[in-house]
Chains A and B, each alone.
Chain A
Amino acid sequence: MSPSAPVRFRLNGQPAEAPCEAPTILLDLLREQLRLTGTKRGCDLGTCGCCTVLVDGRPTLSCLTLARLVDGHEVTTIEGVSPAQGLSPVQRAFVELGATQCGFCTPGFIVTATALLRDHPHPTRAEIERAVSGNLCRCTGYRKIVDAIETAARGGT
């Protein structure tokens, strides 16, 4: 590819195309070029999980992903896991149970939880804790986050 070749991929269900250089990081492409700011930048080093997106359905640290390597793949961001109207069950549970405080880590948790519940519709509490242990939350002490995911798995509050 030339220094600034377009990367073509599916983004939140739609075809997307953006010029990017070899060192361009997916998080930068999403936030700075495509202005999808729901994906958060907390550490840039893979140590907080705020930037989690789905790549081919797999929760992925967008801060440690080269944008060019998603060429031909499917990327889903927090904007993509959110329904056009209203909230998804896990989003609703986060709101109702107070699993957000400052909210900065929340999109990452929602993306991670969405994938977890897709693959494991009935996780145990321990499985939930393990699944979110790459997403850092400094506000809630995690308890209400785990409660919310558990509740969403049970079909809501």
Chain B
Amino acid sequence: MATSESRPYRLLGGRIPYVEGPLKVTGRAEYTDDIQRPGMLVGRVLRSPWPHATIRAIDVADARALPGVSAVLTGEKYPTPFGVLPITHDETAIAVGKVRYIGDIVAAVAARDERTAEEALARIRVDVEPLPDYPDPESGTRPVAVPIHARGLNGTNIQKEVVQHFGDVDAAFAQAAYTARVRGTFAGVTHAFTEPLVTVAEATPDGRLTVWSATQVPHYLHRALSEVLGIPLHRIRVVKPEVGGGFGGKSDPLPHEIVCAALAIETGRPVKILFDREDVFYTNHGRHPTKNDIRIALDANGQILAYDIEATIDGGAWSSFGTVTTYYNGVLSMGPYRVPNFRYKGRRVYTTKPPSGAMRAHGGTNLRYSIEVALDELAETTGIDPFDLRARNALPSDSTTVNQFHIGSTSFLACLAAARERSGWDAKFRRLPYGRGVGLGCGFYISGSNSPIHFTPKMPQSTVHLKVDMDGGIAVHSMQADIGQGSNTLLAAIVAEVLGVDLDRVHVQRVDSDVSPIDLGSYSSRVTFMMGNAARAAAEELRGYLLDAAAELLGTPVGELEVGPERYQRRSDPSSSVTFLEALHKAMERRGALTASGSYQTRPMGGSFKGARAGTAPAYSFAAYVAEVAVDVETGEYRVEKIWAAFDCGRPLNRLAVEGQIEGSIHMGLGQVLGESMNYRGDRLLNPSLLEYKIPMPQQMPEVEILLVGADDPDGPFGAKEAGEGPLIATLPAVGNALYDALGVRFPELPITPDRVLRGIDQRRAKGVAWKGS
């Protein structure tokens, strides 16, 4: 593999098995549904069967009268709106006044068991006046009879509109030698994590509320609970057990989490809400169904002159991260190529469907597909090889984009070179027989957001606390959320690396808001970068105390010491050393158990125009993927045989985890190509099940060759950048462009199911234009 194997670090850069692995392979890891509290009740929600309706009355008397029912809740009890973005609080825990999609929560009950709870739900009578429904975002861009939300722009269902223009796009197109246009259509897809949504809550007589939940962002849940329930933050304790996958779907504070807490308060007893799989599909917050329209202008040399981008984004019933989504669907086009002129008009429109939100590679995926397909078209038109065209336009390191993103490190050219060489591109492109093809797709993604959702922009985005007592075990506290991506392992490894100790000394503590300092959790690919820097800072503080003590024991200036394995030693004479425990015990003489704290905050960045901070990040990841496909041209069925995945995540700190993220991202990205799709008839979701929502099977996974070619990022912890989301993006256009190479057919609509492939083949044949001898 063309990877940088230099190992200046003892642990980091190696393959570090996940610290919780032994618990997970034995079934001993504790997830939220495994929590059992004495006297716990079962919470259940009643969902709206109407896509849009005014609630006239809800009669809960019969439900309350049912023996075994402890509480029945409706929306007016906790009407305070919330939402993940402070500027778009448009959700309520339970519908207040109206319902907005089939699946909206209308009421909730807590009862002694599941059967009683369901019987109680069946006894609730909801009297409604149906309203016109709006399953289609296009129709909602004009004034409508009854807007889904009062906050829709000018009587429409538009939740957010973004218009940005840098440079002069019209002039650029006027002087362009070549242009291409792709109009992409993307079905909604969803996270489909294996652990269903689940929350346990308990209100205790000391006036405190404890909430255990399957969440990616314990801190946002903490805040939403406080706001909606009217309880100060310090009287709420949020605990994150192991989380069975998130991919963005557990990053919003979700209504059922608040409902569960409310039921616990009402009843005075612990309550668990465990969602059925169908409930999870209704909760959704997955990738938005999108239509985009991308125009690219090139000069005669193949230099990109301009992008002109429009997007219409189907938001579903709530805002969620939608304002960010609307920006991202434009501004995440600002890499990996230099784009001197840029215009974007994006609209996110409320519809009477399950809410869309953030899903892995949020905002960057559908946009990138259309761009990379358009570039593939331009490569063909200009006769420039797709690799050369991209290399010619690559952004350099330490550069600034037209919308003032600062690009620190980029190894994009190295990604291109590695993917080209390893895939045998030059021997394959347009040279494989009809039905076989290779395609190039590239990627670009933020490594954390400079514009976090936070109390004030001045507070650190991540804080890590360390405590070590005489036993030499190091407890690590942070609200970073391991959801399977390996952040606990990385946190432990960074601390161990800095202190020079064995990994098994470091114990990452379960996230518990009573003791964990705030980190903003697992979203926007921020954890390695931000938590990593905070952890490094904390560990360096602790190391300072230990080195001071070691210096005292050795009678040597601190500056002469270095860190060895489980010891601190003279640089000039490593045999002159003290062990970690000797240094620790010496250091403790003065102050008892040692504690240290580290934090990370991004520096100010971005322009001063409206929306300037959207997409600003302390670093960006880059990718160049080649996919090779084989198509059955008679049935339209195809197989992705191999993907060469060249990725720039800076320095990979845990190769096992980076590979796992890339392979998992490819699998998820492939799903969106092969058949994952939330299928609607009107506003009715037809396939809310893991049987009919088509996640790829192991036999559909291609061979994957991972090429980690990133150079150290100057601001990343030990040179690292993100590897959790960016690796998804390039998968989709690589396959789409490979299908073009195989068939001479463009597929601007995802997923690319066999029936669509066959239709494309037919259409090309009907035109009578041959392709590679067919």
Output the least CB separation between A51 and chain B (Å): 11
Interface residues of A in 37-58 (CB under 8 A from B): 37-45, 47-48, 50
Within 8 A of A (CB), among B43-81: none
Residue B244 at the A interface, CB < 8 A?
Answer: yes
Out of B36, B194, B247, name the residue touching A50 (CB < 8 Å): B194
Assess whether B25 is in contact with A95, with CB atoms less than 8 Å apart. Answer: yes
Q: Is B689 an interface residue (CB 8 A)?
A: yes
> B698 and A129: CB pair below 8 A?
yes
Smallest Cβ distance from A42 to chain B, in angstroms?
5
Q: Are the C-beta atoms of B22 and A95 separated by less than 8 Å?
A: yes
Residues of B within 8 A of A146 (CB): 698
B194–A102 touching, CB < 8 Å: yes
User: With A79-B27, A104-B245 in contact, is A94–B21 under 8 Å at CB?
Assistant: yes
- Does A143 lie within 8 Å of B193, measured CB to CB? no
Q: Is the CB of B29 within 8 A of A98?
A: no
CB contacts under 8 Å to A, within B536-563, are none
Q: Would B277 and A44 count as touching, CB distance under 8 A? A: yes
**A139–B275 CA distance with the chains assembled, in angstroms:** 20
Find out whether the CB atom of A103 lies under 8 angstroms from the CB atom of B24. Answer: yes
Contact in complex: A42, B660 (CB < 8 Å) = no
Taking A98-B656, A103-B242, A142-B701 as contacts, is the C-beta distance between A42 and B24 under 8 angstroms? no
The closest CB in chain B to the CB of A86 belongs to B22
Residues of A within 8 A of B698 (CB): 129, 132-133, 142, 145-146
In the complex, A29 has a CB within 8 A of chain B = no
Interface of A is mostly: loop
With A and B bound together, what is the CA distance between A142 and B25 in angstroms? 15
Q: Which residues of chain A come closer than 8 Å to B24, judged between CB atoms?
A: 100, 103, 106-107
A138 & B34 in contact (Cβ 8 Å cutoff) = no
Interface residues of A in 94-123 (CB under 8 A from B): 94-98, 100-107, 110
* Known contacts A50-B194, A98-B657; is-contact A45 B689 (Cβ 8 Å): yes
Residues of B contacting A82 in the complex (Cβ-Cβ under 8 angstroms): 25-28
Question: Once bound together, how far apart are the Cα atoms of A145 and B21, in whole Å?
Answer: 13
Say which residue of B33, B192, B276, B660 sits within 8 Å of A101 (CB atoms). B660
- Per-position 1/0 for A48-83, Cβ under 8 A of B: 101000000000000000000000000001110010
CB pair B26–A91 under 8 Å, yes or no, is yes
Q: How far is the CA of A140 from the CA of B664 in the complex (A)?
A: 4
B691 at the A/B interface (Cβ < 8 Å)? yes
Taking each of B25, B244, B664, B667, which has the highest tally of chain A beta carbons within 10 Å of its own beta carbon?
A: B25
**For the complex, what is the distance from the CA of A140 to the CA of B34, rounded to whole Å?**
23
| Given A47-B691, A78-B26, A101-B486; A138-B701 close (CB under 8 Å) | no
Query: Chain B 445-489, CB within 8 Å of chain A: the 1/0 string?
Result: 000000000000000000000000000000000000001111000
Interface centre among A79, A100, A126, A129 (most CB of B within 10 A): A100
- Bound state CA distance, A145 and B691, in angstroms? 21
- Could you tell me the distance in whole angstroms from the C-beta of B314 to the nearest C-beta in chain A? 23
The chain A residues found within 8 Å of chain B, CB to CB, are 35, 37-45, 47-48, 50, 77-79, 82, 87, 91, 94-98, 100-107, 110, 126, 129-130, 132-133, 136-146
- Residues of B whose CB lies within 8 Å of any CB of A are 15, 17-18, 20-31, 33-34, 36, 191-196, 242-247, 274, 276-277, 483-486, 656-657, 659-660, 663-668, 689-691, 695, 697-699, 701, 704
Cβ contacts A to B, 19 pairs, < 8 Å: A35-B36, A37-B30, A40-B194, A42-B195, A42-B244, A48-B194, A78-B27, A98-B18, A100-B21, A100-B484, A104-B193, A104-B245, A107-B26, A130-B699, A138-B193, A138-B664, A141-B666, A141-B668, A142-B698
